[in-house]
């Protein structure tokens, strides 16, 4: 059997990689449950911490979305449902440890996950039919995040009298 006759196999990530990712995200998720430092208990600090939700779940999606199975039309809603359930669990636990339950944080988590998925999809093997969809998804979710983060910009401008 020649090399051309061998079936094309997709390279699999090392077995240890998913477990390292899970452990890393469990350790990072502990940041959601520690009390907010006094220095960050103001409008600007809160807005900066809220951006952390987007960044964390963007990294979460970049790390774990490739391990999901199926076509994007089924795995995307399934992954976002998992992110929603995980976010709901985190917010519920937060409310029992002295931090507030915020629906806005769940929205930020979903926005971060969609951003991570759109980045992941953008760098997949190019396919002409899906190029416009991937670019439009990346632009749309980036615009949504920018709109959601406008209060942070306004608070920074008012704090530093920039404009």
pLDDT above 80 for 114: yes
Residue written as tokens 């979710």? 141
pLDDT, position 88? 93
Contacts of 84 (CB under 8 A, 6+ apart): 106, 109, 110
pLDDT beyond 70 at 53:
yes
pLDDT tens digits for 15-25?
666 677 778 88
Q: What share of the chain is helix, strand, coil (3-state, %, to 5)?
A: 75, 0, 25
From CA 27, how far away is CA 42, in angstroms rounded? 26
pLDDT at 2: 53
Q: N- to C-terminal Cα distance for the chain?
A: 70
Q: What is the DSSP letter of 125?
A: S
pLDDT of residue 145: 83
Tokens of 154: 């306004």
Exposure letters 117-137 (e unless 16+ CB within 10 A, then b): bbbbbeeeeeeeeeeeebeeb
Domain boundaries, the chain: 16-160
Banded model confidence at residue 155, pLDDT cuts 50, 70, 90: confident
Record the tokens describing residue 122, joined without a space.
Answer: 């953008």
The reported pLDDT for the residue numbered 163 is 53
Cβ atoms of 48 and 40 within 8 Å: the answer is yes
User: How high is the pLDDT of residue 39?
Assistant: 75
Residue 99: what pLDDT? Answer: 76
Does residue 115 contact residue 56 with C-beta atoms inside 8 Å? no
Please give the structure tokens belonging to residue 133: 């969809």
């Amino acid at each position: 059997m020649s090399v051309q006759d061998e079936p094309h196999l997709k390279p699999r990530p090392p077995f240890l990689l998913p477990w390292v990712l899970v452990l890393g995200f469990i350790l990072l998720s502990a940041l959601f449950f520690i009390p907010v430092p006094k220095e960050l208990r103001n409008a600007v600090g809160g807005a900066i911490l809220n951006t952390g939700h987007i960044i964390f779940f963007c990294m979460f999606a970049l790390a774990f979305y490739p391990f999901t199975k199926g076509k994007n039309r089924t795995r995307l809603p399934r992954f976002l449902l998992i992110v929603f359930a995980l976010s709901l669990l985190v917010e519920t636990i937060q409310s029992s440890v002295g931090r507030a339950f915020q629906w806005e944080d769940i929205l930020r988590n979903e926005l971060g996950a969609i951003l991570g998925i759109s980045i992941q999809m953008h760098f997949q093997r190019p396919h002409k039919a899906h190029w416009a969809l991937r670019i439009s998804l990346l632009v749309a979710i980036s615009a949504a995040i920018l709109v959601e983060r406008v209060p942070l910009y306004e608070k920074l401008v008012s704090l530093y009298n920039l404009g």
